[in-house]
Amino acid sequence: MEFRPRLPIESDKDKKLYKILVQKIRLDGLQEVLNQLIVPSSLLEEMDLNGCQKWLILSDVHRPFHNKIIWNKVLRLIRNMGTELYGICLAGDYLDLYTLGSYNAESLGLLKGIDLAFEYQDGLDGLLELQAAAHEGIKKLYLYGNHEDRYFRTLNSKDNAKYGTALKDPIEALYLREHGWQVKTNWKDDYFTLGEHLDVVHGTYHNKHVAAKHLDQTQHSVIFGHTHRIQSFHLGNKAAYNIGGLFDLQNNAFGYMPRFTRSQWANGFAIVYIDENGCYHVNQVTIWDNSFYAEGKMY
């Protein structure tokens, strides 16, 4: 079957261009012609050849106290997704910033070699790994969590001078702007909206039925981390998803939390599909024994 593009023909010039285009396609093939087109970047951002956007939502990585086995498997998942993956959203607490926290006075001695510079370098290493695994044109969203907010709290404290030049905004320390990340820093109020109906937030509440609480308070569909738990709650055409995190459950850095609290924590993340109508479809990925099933494959 011969390919004939249907174009609006309004002038003799349009007719000539139409004939040139058809002849070019006949000689070189459609794919080669498409490869030679110069498409505005604004149009590329809106294009989705499969009719939907596929987003990977990662929350509560808590580098450098992340689960390295899971992290490497997530990188492999990103590589396998290839250009089908439209965007990555880090939904808060990607960094732990343990050295800026209020819990470190009792337990920092258990963590050999950990200082603020080390935390920032490890976080940067992780971002570079993410970016290397993803395709070049992927959308990148970074939302601060309460742990990134430790920077602002430390900045406003009376003794922040003891950190010297090591005290940097995570935006600066991770080179987020330079690497093309869109960043929002108000962990309690900021959010990214995927499609028409789903807000990515870090999360605010900690109660037992926290997904229901977030939906009740926001009156809008939300996906979040924060609690280190996995839940979902649906009410009518709205829903809330608590997606867990990629932290290392056994790391001494979390020893400040009571054992029974930590027993409720779970590793996980989410893949979100936004269809051509802007509606969302959420796949909550629960991780068991450092393994998970996603995109039809076991990792």
pLDDT tens by residue, 16-36: 666 666 666 666 666 565 556
Q: Name the average pLDDT for the chain.
A: 88
Residue 129 pLDDT > 60: yes
pLDDT of residue 175: 98
Q: Per residue in 49-85, pLDDT tens?
A: 457 899 999 999 999 999 999 999 999 999 999 999 9
Which tens digits make up the pLDDT trace of 172-228?
999 999 999 999 999 999 999 999 999 999 999 999 999 999 999 999 999 999 999
64 upstream amide cis, omega within 30 of 0: yes
In this prediction, residue 32 carries a pLDDT of: 63
Average pLDDT over residues 143-157: 94
Res 3: pLDDT: 44
Average pLDDT over residues 250-277: 92
The structure tokens listed for 101 are 């926290």
Domain chopping of the chain, boundaries:
9-38, 41-298
pLDDT of residue 256: 81
Q: What is the mean pLDDT of residues 163-173?
A: 91
Q: What is the pLDDT of residue 257?
A: 85
Pick the CATH number of 41-298 from 3.60.21.10, 3.10.310.10, 3.50.50.60, 3.40.140.10: 3.60.21.10
